[in-house]
C-alpha cells in the first residue's frame, strides 16, 4: 500500500472520507470494550482454580519445618515459599523476603522507607532538598505515580530494544548525588516488551553512583511470562552480576505471582543483598507480625516447584498468544507500509507498545474511546503523564475475549489512519 506520507491532499481526503464512514459504522455498534489495563482474562484465572482445593479442612497446615502456618510469626515468609519464589526470580531463597499480595505495595514501601528512614544509614530522603529518579520511558505508570507522590523529580531516559540509554544513565548516576534510583522493568518491559541486553545489565551492575544510597528498582514483573516455548528472552541475573561487579547492595529486585495465579491474591517478594535485608528488617519488624503464610503454603502446594509454575505459564501463554499475534497481524495488514505507526512485537509480558506519528496519540485514544473501546490513557507511559511527542500508546491485549479484541483492533487501526491523515493534512495546509 502507498504510504500516507507520499499521498497528495486529494488522495488523503478521499481516503479520509471512506475511513470516516467506516468509523461511523463502529459508532453504531455501540461497543463497550475495555483494554486499558494489563489484566488476565477469565480463562487465565480459571487456570488457577485448583489452588482453591489444595488446602482444605482436613489438610495439615504445617510448613516443612513444622511451623503451624495458621498462627502468627515467620516475618520473612516460610522457607518453601522462598525456595519456590527464589527459583522463579533466579535468586537464593536466603536473599528473599516474601511479602503480601502486591509487589507494587513493596515498591511503595521501599521508597517510603528510604524517604522516612534512609537507606543503610544514609540521610532520609525527606530531609534532602531534592531527590531524583531516572525513568526509562515509555514505562509503567504506577511506578511513576509512586515517585510523583513522594515529590521525587522524575527524569525520562529513552528506551531502546536493548534497554534504557545507558550512556545517559551512567552520566546522570555518576554525576548527580540527587539521583537516588531508577525504575526498571528489565524483561518484557511495560509497555514495549523489550528485554535488557547482556551489555545493558552488565553496565547497570557496573554503575558508579555518586549517591551511596542509589538503588536500582528492578521490577521483574514478567520474569517467566513468555509467549513462546522456543523463543524466550534470557537476562543476566542482576543481583549476582552486581555482586561480581563489587556493587552487591545496589539493587532491590521485585516480583510477584499476580499474573501467575490471581491478581490481588498472589504473593509478592523482594530479593536483595544481606545488607539491604538487614536494613529492611529494622522497619519490617515494626510494620507487621508477618504476611499471609496460609496463602504462601497454598501457592507452594499448588505448584510444588518451579517446573509446576513453568508448566502453568505455558497454559497462560496458550490463551494470550493468539491475542498478541492477531493484533500484530491486524496492525501489519491495516497499517503496514502506510508510514503512520510502529509497534513492538514482544515475546512475553503483557503489552504491545504503539508509536503514532508525533502529536497523534491523544487524538487516537480519544477517537477509539468515542468508538466504544477504552485504552490506557495516552501519555500515561511517561512521567507526569507527559509524553513529549504525544506518540506512545500502550496496548493491553490480555483481558478482552479474542473476538472482541478483533473488533477493537480494527477500530484502533481505523482511528490511527483517520487521525494520521488529519495530522498530515493539517501540516500540509
Query: 145, 383 in Cβ contact below 8 A?
Result: no
**Minimum distance of its own copies from residue 104's CB (angstroms):** 6
Dump the DSSP string for 113-131.
Answer: HHHHH-STTSPPGGGSS--
Burial class (CB in 10 A: 0-12, 13-18, 19+), 37: middle
Query: Side-chain half-sphere of 282: how many Cα atoms within 13 Å?
Result: 13
Task: Give the separation between CA 390 and CA 124, rounded to whole angstroms.
Answer: 36
β-bridge pairing 268-271 and 352-356: unpaired
Taking the complex as a whole, how short is the minimal distance between the CB of residue 109 and its own copies, in angstroms? 8
| Cα gap 96→281, rounded to integer Å | 12
Question: Under the rule (CB under 8 A), what is the footprint of its own copies?
Answer: 37, 39-40, 42, 45, 48-50, 52-53, 55-59, 61, 68-73, 100-102, 104-105, 108, 112, 115-117, 124, 126-127, 142, 145-146, 149-150, 258, 262-265, 283, 285-295
Nearer to its own copies, 150 or 240 (CB): 150
Closest distance between its own copies and the C-beta of residue 312, in Å? 14
Min. distance of Cβ 206 from its own copies in angstroms? Answer: 32
Q: Which is nearer to its own copies, 162 or 265 (CB)?
A: 265
Nearer to its own copies, 6 or 129 (CB): 129
| Peptide bond just before 154 cis, omega within 30 deg | no
Q: Which phi and psi (to 5°) does residue 393 adopt? A: -130, 130
Q: Which is nearer to its own copies, 98 or 227 (CB)?
A: 98
- Min CB(135)–its own copies separation in Å: 15
CA distance 151 to 57: 48
Q: Given the complex with its own copies, which of 120 and 245 has the nearer CB atom? A: 120
CB of 187 vs its own copies, minimal distance in Å: 20
Q: Which is nearer to its own copies, 353 or 398 (CB)?
A: 398
Amino acid at each position: 500500500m502507498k504510504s500516507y506520507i507520499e499521498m497528495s491532499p486529494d488522495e488523503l481526503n478521499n481516503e479520509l472520507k471512506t475511513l470516516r464512514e467506516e468509523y461511523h459504522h463502529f459508532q453504531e455498534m455501540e461497543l463497550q470494550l475495555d483494554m486499558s489495563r494489563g489484566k488476565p482474562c477469565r480463562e487465565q484465572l480459571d487456570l488457577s482454580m485448583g489452588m482453591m482445593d489444595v488446602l482444605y479442612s482436613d489438610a495439615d497446615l504445617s510448613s516443612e519445618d513444622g511451623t503451624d502456618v495458621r498462627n502468627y510469626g515467620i516475618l520473612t515468609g516460610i522457607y518453601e515459599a522462598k525456595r519456590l519464589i527464589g527459583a522463579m526470580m533466579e535468586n537464593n531463597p536466603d536473599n528473599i523476603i516474601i511479602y503480601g499480595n502486591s509487589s507494587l505495595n513493596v515498591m511503595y514501601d521501599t521508597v517510603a522507607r528510604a524517604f522516612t528512614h534512609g537507606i543503610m544509614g544514609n540521610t532520609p530522603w525527606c530531609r534532602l532538598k531534592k531527590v531524583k529518579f531516572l525513568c526509562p520511558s515509555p514505562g509503567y505508570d504506577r511506578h511513576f505515580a509512586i515517585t510523583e507522590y513522594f515529590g521525587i523529580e522524575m527524569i525520562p531516559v529513552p528506551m531502546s530494544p536493548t534497554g534504557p540509554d545507558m550512556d545517559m544513565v551512567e552520566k546522570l548516576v555518576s554525576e548527580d548525588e540527587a539521583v537516588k534510583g531508577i525504575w526498571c522493568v528489565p524483561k518484557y518491559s511495560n509497555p514495549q516488551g523489550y528485554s535488557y541486553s547482556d551489555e545493558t545489565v552488565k553496565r547497570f551492575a557496573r554503575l558508579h553512583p555518586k549517591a551511596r544510597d542509589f538503588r536500582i528498582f528492578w521490577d521483574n514483573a514478567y520474569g517467566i511470562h513468555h509467549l513462546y516455548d522456543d523463543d524466550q528472552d534470557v537476562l543476566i541475573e542482576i543481583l549476582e552480576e552486581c555482586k561480581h561487579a563489587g556493587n552487591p547492595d545496589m539493587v532491590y529486585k521485585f516480583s510477584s505471582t499476580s499474573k501467575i495465579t490471581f491478581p490481588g491474591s498472589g504473593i509478592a517478594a523482594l530479593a536483595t543483598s544481606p545488607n539491604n535485608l538487614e536494613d529492611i528488617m529494622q522497619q519490617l519488624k515494626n510494620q507487621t507480625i508477618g504476611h499471609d503464610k496460609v496463602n504462601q503454603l497454598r501457592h507452594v502446594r499448588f505448584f510444588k516447584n518451579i517446573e509446576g509454575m513453568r508448566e502453568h505459564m505455558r497454559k497462560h501463554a496458550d490463551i494470550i498468544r493468539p491475542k498478541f499475534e492477531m493484533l500484530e497481524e491486524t496492525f501489519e495488514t491495516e497499517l503496514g507500509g502506510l508510514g503512520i505507526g510502529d509497534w513492538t512485537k514482544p515475546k512475553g509480558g503483557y503489552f504491545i507498545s504503539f508509536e503514532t506519528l508525533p502529536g497523534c496519540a491523544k487524538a487516537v485514544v480519544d477517537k477509539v474511546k468515542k468508538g466504544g473501546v477504552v485504552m490506557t490513557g495516552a501519555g500515561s507511559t511517561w512521567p507526569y503523564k507527559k509524553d513529549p511527542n504525544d506518540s506512545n500508546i500502550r496496548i493491553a491485549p490480555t483481558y478482552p475475549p479474542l473476538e472482541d479484541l478483533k473488533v477493537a483492533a480494527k477500530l484502533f487501526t481505523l482511528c490511527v489512519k483517520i487521525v494520521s491523515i488529519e495530522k498530515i493534512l493539517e501540516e500540509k495546509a
